[in-house]
Amino acid sequence: MAKSTKKEPKPTVARSKKTAEIALISYPHVQQSAVSGLSDLFEIADRLARERLGSQVPLLRISHLSGWDRTYQTSSHGNLEPSVLVLPPTLQTPSPKSASPALIEYLKNRHKAGAILASVCLGAFVLAESGLLSERTVTTHWAYEKLFASRFPGVHLDTNKLIVDDGDIITAGGLMAWTDLGLKIIDRLLGPTSMLETARYMLVDPPGREQRYYSVFAPRLTHGDAGILKVQHWLQRADLSDVSVRDMAKRAGLEERTFLRHFHTATGLTPIQYTQHLRVGRAREVLETSAESIDEIAWRCGYGDSGAFRRVFARVTGLTPNDYRRRFGPRLAANTYRVPRS
């Protein structure tokens, strides 16, 4: 039988996108582990995507803006203007107007040219000095919420979120949130398949966590209102199952309506919101350290209705009590090992 002369089609090689340049900005006291980690993350994403697509052309290229100037440490692929600029976290709180005018001008120019600007943790302080965050929603580390808000009152801050993707500006909260930011950028430049592929390879969770899973309630105590501070100190010790606004107002030496106004001005919360945060804080400690049932914890923390406790807990933390325990609770032997029957 004669062999067929029909040629088999050559395997199709997917065409890669144009190489995207990602610039990591290094500045005084920058977290070097984040700079190195982001570099590795993007290089791994590029390698995995090229292997999958059969591409010889780099899809991602990483450069560094060293110090506060524009000195690139480039490779031999040619000098591209970065399409994404990342401000990694710093290990020290940036002082006001600490960013050099040259860096601020460069950020503005690249943003005007269509580049994505991104920051991790306290890098948002540097980014905010450019004025580009005005009237935008961003995030930074929850512990620096008050300081950021006082310096940049025109910026909408949401420290419940670990990532805020506002299109042309992406911000991440927390020192280790560079992994979430890096995966978000990979998703943007190479697509969700590459993002998930990289996350699996590095054994990290894909974006989707929230910062409020980890933040703890830090009440305002330096407001200068002695009567409200007295109430706050009392609430820290009180049995929160039997606390009323009338009791709080009496301890503050104020009429109820006046107390409500003073309390909100001093703490930023209503008395009910404040006590809910305290109750949830106590519940988190129990969930992290014990195997008590959710109903028992609800009662211990001042809730007669465990359903109401579950709703409040989820609203404050972003997780149900059971999900919180699975993520942060003790790995009890009783839950993982059973004595075999004889």
Contact 298, 309 (CB under 8 A): yes
Residue 236 lies in a domain: yes
> What one-character-per-residue DSSP string does 121-155 give?
TTHHHHHHTTTTTTT-EE---GGGHHHHHHH-TTS
Say if residue 238 is in the same domain as residue 204. no
Residue 335 lies in a domain: no
Say if residue 275 is in the same domain as residue 195. no
Say if residue 191 is in the same domain as residue 237. no
Total domains, the chain: 2
| pLDDT tens, residue by residue, 69-89 | 444 343 334 456 888 999 999
Residue 45 lies in a domain: yes
Handedness of CA 145, 150, 151, 153 (dihedral sign): positive
| pLDDT tens, residue by residue, 195-218 | 888 988 988 877 666 667 666 677
Domain-terminating residue out of 158, 181, 213: 213
Say if residue 248 is in the same domain as residue 155. no
Token digits of residue 196: 């998930």
Say if residue 201 is in the same domain as residue 297. no
Which conformational region is residue 97 in: left (phi greater than 0), alpha (psi within -120 to 50 degrees), or beta? left
Say if residue 238 is in the same domain as residue 174. no
Helix or strand holding residue 234 (H, E):
helix 226-237
| pLDDT tens, residue by residue, 283-306 | 988 888 788 899 999 988 888 888
Domain-terminating residue out of 188, 213, 238: 213
Say if residue 207 is in the same domain as residue 244. no
Q: What CATH number does residue 248 fall under?
A: 1.10.10.60
Q: What CATH number does residue 157 fall under?
A: 3.40.50.880
Domain assignment of residue 235, given as a range? 226-328
> What one-character-per-residue DSSP string does 267-328 give?
HSS-HHHHHHHHHHHHHHHHHHH----HHHHHHHTT-S-HHHHHHHHHHHHSS-HHHHHHHH
Residue 14 lies in a domain: no
Residue 7 has a pLDDT of: 46
Full-prediction pTM beyond 0.85?
no
Which three-class secondary structure state does DSSP give residue 94? coil
